[in-house]
Amino acid sequence: MGIEALMVALAVLALATGGSAQLQYGFYKNKCNASDVEAVVQGIVKARFAREAPIVAYLLRLQFHECAVNGCDGGLLIDGPGTEKTAPPNLSVKGYDLIAAIKAELERRCPGVVSCSDIEILATRDAVALAGGPAYTVRTGRRDRRQSRASDVKLPGSEYTAAQAIAYYAKLGMSAYDTVLLLGAHTVGATHCSSIKNSRLYGYGGKMGATDPAMDPTLASTYKKYVCPNVTSSNGNTVYLDDQWSAVKVDNNYYKNLQRGRGVLLVDQNLYRDSSTRGFVDQLANNNGLFQSQFAKVLVKLSEVNVLTGTQGEIRKVCNKFN
């Protein structure tokens, strides 16, 4: 091909891709002096996981709350009045300190190169693999948004029906199957009695004293007697979202629990109550290999929601402040 034909071909290609930059595998390769950016992130996550395994739960939730609000753009990380971080559902998000520590190390090695939004996605990826979940590759090249508003934070409620959860995730380009997979993140981490006392233990369906009939009676009585007794002082008590032995393991035990009426949040158990999602739960409960491969795919899909690339946004100097 002559040079002119090549130029035309390139111009057409640029038009076809909208001329906008895209995420790429290994975007940071050879961009951080002698450092391998992904290896640096992985090293820091590994050290943290070794002393604080629940970091996997903190990071998964952080990725969700980040990507579901205006996309994976670092908006959740900004400090200050009225930012996303100050919205009620984000007050219990953790893991910000790890993102800041990774950013500081990368800034030392190559200032102004690696975005905070990419660090969130890479760190979550690494923690998931360390917790026995899938090892997956992610594309990078995200940039950080110069905007973060609490009023944009619209996250799903723990009492959602399956249909409400599906409708919520459809707005992020996710299917019903994706919805069931994403909730699989509740294979790690914990909540508090306040999230289940009214909705499941003492006020199911808006009826005073009613317990969710879908809850395994043995589990319900354990919660009522020992973990979440019907007194205000139990509100902050910890309830694991998966069995305690599996609380830092990324596996399909969450789905097995739903089959047995041992889901924790109402939205979790609703995935089994509703006949439109029950079949997916059964498939995933019966096949950990399927869960692992599909969970990786849905996390990648989540990680690419509405990203900024190219010259959009900025590469922050520190993750909790705009430049």
- Could you give the residue numbers annotated as active site? 65
Between CA 258 and CA 182 the distance in angstroms is 14
Between CA 211 and CA 198 the distance in angstroms is 9
92 binds ligand HEM (CB under 6 A): yes
* E strand or H helix at 165: helix 162-170
Please check if 156 is assigned to a binding site.
yes
* Integer Rg of the chain from CA: 21
165 binds ligand HEM (CB under 6 A): yes
Quickly tell me which residue has 């990680």 as its tokens: 303
**Which part of the chain contacts ligand HEM (CB under 6 A), choosing from 114-122, 150-158, 219-227, 279-287?**
150-158
With CA atoms as reference, report the closest residue to 257 among 244, 269, 274, 275: 269
Quickly tell me which residue has 């869960």 as its tokens: 291
Between CA 231 and CA 228 the distance in angstroms is 8
61 binds ligand HEM (CB under 6 A): yes
62 binds ligand HEM (CB under 6 A): no
Quote the strand ranges of the chain, DSSP E: 24-25, 139-140, 190-192, 238-240
Please check if 159 is assigned to a binding site.
no
Please check if 66 is assigned to a binding site.
no
Q: Which of 21, 32, 94, 312 binds ligand HEM (CB under 6 A)?
A: 94
57 binds ligand HEM (CB under 6 A): yes
**Which of the 8 DSSP states describes residue 25?**
E
Q: Which of 191, 199, 253, 320 binds ligand HEM (CB under 6 A)?
A: 191
Closer of 92 and 286 to ligand HEM (Cβ):
92
Four-point Cα dihedral 195, 54, 146, 36, nearest 10: -160
134 binds ligand HEM (CB under 6 A): no
Please check if 89 is assigned to a binding site.
no
Closer of 28 and 240 to ligand HEM (Cβ):
240
182 binds ligand HEM (CB under 6 A): yes
Positions that interact with ligand HEM (CB under 6 A): 54, 57-58, 60-61, 64, 92, 94, 156-158, 160, 165, 182-183, 185-186, 188-192, 195, 241, 265, 267
